[in-house]
Structure 1
Amino acid sequence: MNATTIATVDILRKIVDITKGLPAYTNEILKTGILPHNKANLVTICDYISSMIHEVNLSDNYRKDVIMLLARFSIFFNNTKVFKDIARADLLQFLDSYRKHESSDPKHKYVATYNLFRIHLMRFYKWLYSPNIEHKQRPKPAQVENIPQLKRKEISCYKPTDLWTQEDDALFLMYCPSSRDKCYHAMSRDSACRPHELLKLRIKDVMFKLTSDKRQYAEISVNGKTGTRSIPLINSIPYVKDWINQHPQSGNQNSILLCGFGRSLGKQLNPSAVDLIYRYYQHTYFPKLKNIPQGDKNKIAELLKKPWNPYIRRHSALTEKSGILKEHHLRQYAGWAKNSNMAQKYLQYFGNESSNNLLEAAGIITSDKQHSDLLKSKSCPNCKEPNKPDSKFCINCQMVLTYDEYSETLEKQQQRESEVQSLRAEVKALQDEQKQKAEEILCTLAQFKEQLNERDQRRLEADFRNGQ
């Protein structure tokens, strides 16, 4: 069927179908950016997405990225060309529009975007010319033949110094005002999950468990690029419990764990929303913190120089885990495919243990072992409940958790007892004073009564004498 003969209402229905569950802007760009100008391209996009859903079971994030790319691709040519009429030179012109000059992109971040769009467009054009062939067997049409992948000088867009340390996390958790955001932040360090993997979780997906010696931990099951994998939660448990207790729908186990607020109440957040939240903290909230120790202000000033986004959280966590897990375990934990080179990136580029060992041996830096417990949850000796590292009392049984707090509690108790004793002494003194005053009043009254009696007696005697 010719695209121009398809009724607008049918096209709108197709748009709703392929954008179901995606952010509203994906629907909007198709309806307002393409539909009024190029129905053919819009129908092609809808048919392609529908085909891909059935062929490879697209994830929501992948589906959104492809829709936005193809919409921009059509708009780039002012919607004047149908996709099959776009020549190889046109396609290269579109890809080249994402190249950036060294001065504006010194880390060459654009390369990742260029290569990703190249892959998406190659897959799209294979389908466009051979829709009825099995997707793995489709040949490359002329438009996408011999388009090389760009190589990047840097192994990663992040430097080792960009990664968040445990001290950075402890500082963030200390001053972050939102229990939900603290929960996400702590879970991202604890699990090293991709942002969308955490954002899909529901309350029921957090399974709290006990070891034989009554130590508590939790497990989450996440769905990633390589399928489902189980991830333990240890140090983030106090923050998870704290947020669940404050969750607007805590009684509903099917509720999204890290849900939105306001008009998005109860709805699943997308990674771009979390990115905006971190930007707010970096550019607005943390720089304006007042009435905090100067030492913390200085640390925050240094932390603000680092990247604040959901993916630096995963990078930081995986770098930490790469020093603990063997490579094959790290691949499984991170959700990487067998042929992925990501493990080598973390083991060789971000792992700087050899450099640190040399600096420690020379006495230039000290071991960071003391920092490894900064985020470790504090287990209550009485009930084994995991508590936040800075907790003074157990959230479950109110047991005192630190010696300093124990001493402070004893001191406060002694102070209260002293105040009670002082108050009792003051009350007794007041009672004695009141008793003495009462006795004086009674004595005065007795004397007055006696004087009255004597006066009355004298008057009676005088009256008696006068009567005789």
Structure 2
Amino acid sequence: MDIHNYKRRLERTLENIKNSKDISDNNKKTILKFHDSCFADGISVCKIERYLYDLARFSQMLNKDFENVEKDDLLKVAGEIEKKEWSPNSKQTFKVMMKKFYKWLEGNGESYPEKIKWLKTNLKNNHKKLPDELINEEEIEKLIRFSNNIRDRTFISLLYETGCRIGELGSLTIKDISFDEFGAKLIVSGKTGARIVRIVNSAPYIQEWINNHPFNKNQNSYIWIKKNGESISYARLSSIIKKTAKRAGITKRIHPHLFRHSRASYLANYITESQMKNYLGWTQSSKMAGIYVHLNDTDNAILRMNGLKKDEEKQEQKLKPKTCIRCKTINETTNRFCKLCGFILDADTSKEILQKESERNQMDDILNEVMKDKDVLELLSQKIKEKKLINK
């Protein structure tokens, strides 16, 4: 499933290139040939769309035919890219496109020409998220509480716990989910192929949503659907997150990939670098997991050195499901009462109810004492008689 609608986006990009007055006819022909070559090489529609989108901008920045470009022209473009207020990933993607394009155009697809070989495409590591930019568990709980329905609660809970890319979750079907005594397992397909993702905290939510899913008898039905049964697009899923954050009063910039960053930072406290790569769908050669693990290792080492943290110390899991002590039903972390038997699940709710019961009992005691007073009884009797006369 293509929740990003890349196929339609590619069609629009091609239309824009063909109709552009800022791209020469020669460059248009070259871009279309590159488009065909990318498909022949088995490159994904997602990447091809991005290559062509950036190639169109590249052509406009050069303002000359690709075949006539020299190293100085490429140096100038690279400098312009660095000056732009693009994200580090966008800058890197653009440079990767430049090198790949000239490798195809002048290097016969085998080697980089001298004019472009010098261009570095490594992503700089000086744009890492600070802790206050990430989403913490208290904020995840707020997002769940302020969700409009069980579908949205489930999606937000899963997006955080799994750390999945939104495209991986967006293409889930009912048959991709299996439950066991510990929670559930998801089969997701991502950049590194299919993998199994264990969930615990989100299991009660996904169980309830599947039970209420309008097409739950169809194992091939997508998990995230609209009322009419159509699958939900990336734009819609992203909008759900942002609108929920606004209702919850969360002011930091919330976007789908931030959940992945935040979860990776949390998991680095508990699992190894290799385990993180498997769980989050990174290749074993990827350096992403190491960044999170090494940052946490350094912080923990400094705290232990100063006697502020013990090796066995663990963070409290605030999103852990609640098990009813009466009927043993596993409930969502945001539930205050058991969804099966109605028993109180958390101490705060228990305290609140006991307080109200105590207040009622105190009022009953006061009324009982008052009713022992003959004068009060006589006055009350008189008032009742007057009330009856008025009603007549």
> Contact (CA 8 Å) 1:219, 1:231: kept in 2 or not?
yes
Name the structure 1 match of 2:333.
389
Name the structure 2 match of 1:242.
208
Structure 1 residues 255 and 151, CA, compared in 2 at 3 Å: closer, same or farther? closer
Percent of residue pairs identical: 24
Using the alignment, how far apart are the partners of 1:50 and 1:384 within structure 2? Answer: 59
How far off its partner does 1:187 sit?
0.8
Question: Could you state the TM-score of these two structures normalised by the residue count of structure 2?
Answer: 0.74
Using the alignment, how far apart are the partners of 1:54 and 1:89 within structure 2? Answer: 31
> What SS does structure 1 have at the residue aligned with 2:81?
coil
Name the structure 2 match of 1:343.
289
Question: Could you state the TM-score of these two structures normalised by the residue count of structure 1?
Answer: 0.64
Cα-to-partner distance string for 1:151-199 (whole Å, 9 max, x where unaligned): 7361x43112322221121122112224333222211221111222212
- Give the alignment of 1:9-28 within 5 angstroms: 21-22=5-6, 24-28=8-12
Structure 1 residues 221 and 50, CA, compared in 2 at 3 Å: closer, same or farther? farther
Cα-to-partner distance string for 1:78-124 (whole Å, 9 max, x where unaligned): xx6443334433334333333247xxx6xxx7443222221122112
Name the structure 2 match of 1:203.
174
Using the alignment, how far apart are the partners of 2:61 and 2:149 within structure 1? Answer: 41
- Give the alignment of 1:142-291 within 5 angstroms: 142-149=114-121, 152=124, 154=126, 156-208=127-179, 210=180, 215-247=181-213, 249-259=215-225, 266-270=230-234, 273-282=236-245, 284-287=246-249
Counterpart residue type for residue 152 of structure 1: K
Out of 279, 295, 301, which is 1:333 matched to?
279
Structure 1 residues 172 and 128, CA, compared in 2 at 3 Å: closer, same or farther? same
Cα-to-partner distance string for 1:275-310 (whole Å, 9 max, x where unaligned): 44444444x4344xxxxxxxxxxxx4xxx2x33111
Counterpart residue type for residue 343 of structure 2: V
- Give the alignment of 1:25-424 within 5 angstroms: 25-35=9-19, 37=21, 38=24, 40-55=26-41, 57-77=42-62, 81-100=64-83, 110-130=87-107, 138-149=110-121, 152=124, 154=126, 156-208=127-179, 210=180, 215-247=181-213, 249-259=215-225, 266-270=230-234, 273-282=236-245, 284-287=246-249, 300=250, 304=251, 306-350=252-296, 352-355=299-302, 357=304, 361=308, 369=315, 371-372=316-317, 374-380=318-324, 385-395=329-339, 397-398=340-341, 400-402=343-345, 408=353
Moved more, 46-55 or 62-71: 46-55
Name the structure 1 match of 2:374.
none
What value does the CA root-mean-square deviation take over the aligned residues?
Answer: 3.8
Using the alignment, how far apart are the partners of 1:342 and 1:281 within structure 2? Answer: 29
Structure 1 residues 129 and 153, CA, compared in 2 at 3 Å: closer, same or farther? closer
> What SS does structure 2 have at the residue aligned with 1:325?
coil
What is the number of residues matched between the two proteins? Answer: 352
> Contact (CA 8 Å) 1:41, 1:82: kept in 2 or not?
yes
Name the structure 2 match of 1:436.
none
Structure 1 residues 280 and 24, CA, compared in 2 at 3 Å: closer, same or farther? farther
How far off its partner does 1:268 sit?
4.7
> Contact (CA 8 Å) 1:248, 1:266: kept in 2 or not?
no
How far off its partner does 1:234 sit?
1.0
How far off its partner does 1:312 sit?
1.5
Using the alignment, how far apart are the partners of 2:184 and 2:114 within structure 1? Answer: 52
How far off its partner does 1:246 sit?
4.5
Q: Which has the larger radius of gyration?
A: 1
Structure 1 residues 358 and 61, CA, compared in 2 at 3 Å: closer, same or farther? farther
Using the alignment, how far apart are the partners of 1:335 and 1:277 within structure 2? Answer: 24
Asked which structure has the greater RCO (Cα within 8 Å, sep 6+), the reply is 2
Q: Structure 2 stretches of 5 or more lacking a match?
A: 361-392
> What SS does structure 1 have at the residue aligned with 2:201?
coil
Counterpart residue type for residue 101 of structure 2: F
> What SS does structure 1 have at the residue aligned with 2:6?
coil
